[in-house]
C-alpha cells in the first residue's frame, strides 16, 4: 500500500497566506493599471489645456512685440527728426557767426589799412617837413658860416 491518502489535502497556514497575498497582489495590479489609465487621461487633458493657453499667450506676446516695435520706431523717427532740426539750427547759427566774424575781420583789416595809410601819409609829411627844415637850417648855417668866414678873412687881411 501506499502511504498517500486518497483524501484531498488540507491547505496549511502558509498556503492560505500565500493565496491571500496573491489575491491582494492581483487586486493591487488591477488598481495600479486603473490609476495609470486615469493619470494618462488627466495628463492628456492638462496637455491640451496648456497648449491652448500657450497659443493664446503666444498671440498676446506677438501683439505686444509688434506694439513695442511700432513705438520704438516712432520714438526713433522723432529722435532723428529732432536731431536733424538741431543740426540745421546749429549749422545756421554757425554760418551766421562765421559771416559776422568775416565782416568784423574785414572791418578790422580796413581799419588797419586806413591807419597804415594815415601813418604813411603823416610820415611822408613829417619827412618832407624835416627835409625842408634841414635844408633851411643848412642854408642858415651855411650863410652864418660864410659870414663868419668872410669876417675871419677880413680880419686876416686887416691883420696882415
Residue 154's pLDDT band (boundaries 50, 70, 90)? confident
pLDDT, averaged across the chain: 84
Does residue 7 register a pLDDT over 70? no
Does residue 119 register a pLDDT over 70? yes
Task: Mention every residue, 6+ apart, whose C-beta is less than 8 A from residue 19.
Answer: 11
> Cα dihedral sign for 117, 120, 123, 124?
negative
Does residue 103 register a pLDDT over 60? yes
Average pLDDT over residues 83-108: 91
Average pLDDT over residues 74-97: 90
Per-residue pLDDT, 26: 81
Per-residue pLDDT, 1: 45
pTM score of the predicted model: 0.37
Q: What does the pLDDT look like over 14-56, one tens digit per residue? A: 888 888 888 888 878 888 888 889 999 998 888 888 887 777 7
Amino acid at each position: 500500500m501506499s502511504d498517500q491518502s486518497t483524501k484531498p489535502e488540507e491547505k496549511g497556514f502558509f498556503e492560505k497566506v500565500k493565496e491571500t497575498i496573491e489575491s491582494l497582489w492581483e487586486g493591487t495590479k488591477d488598481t495600479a493599471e486603473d490609476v495609470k489609465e486615469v493619470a494618462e487621461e488627466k495628463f492628456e487633458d492638462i496637455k491640451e489645456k496648456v497648449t491652448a493657453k500657450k497659443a493664446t499667450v503666444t498671440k498676446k506676446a506677438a501683439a505686444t512685440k509688434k506694439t513695442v516695435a511700432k513705438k520704438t520706431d516712432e520714438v526713433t523717427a522723432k529722435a532723428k527728426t529732432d536731431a536733424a532740426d538741431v543740426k540745421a539750427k546749429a549749422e545756421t547759427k554757425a554760418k551766421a557767426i562765421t559771416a559776422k566774424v568775416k565782416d568784423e575781420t574785414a572791418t578790422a583789416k580796413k581799419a588797419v589799412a586806413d591807419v597804415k595809410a594815415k601813418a604813411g601819409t603823416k610820415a611822408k609829411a613829417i619827412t618832407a617837413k624835416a627835409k625842408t627844415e634841414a635844408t633851411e637850417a643848412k642854408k642858415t648855417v651855411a650863410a652864418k658860416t660864410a659870414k663868419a668866414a668872410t669876417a675871419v678873412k677880413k680880419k686876416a687881411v686887416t691883420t696882415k
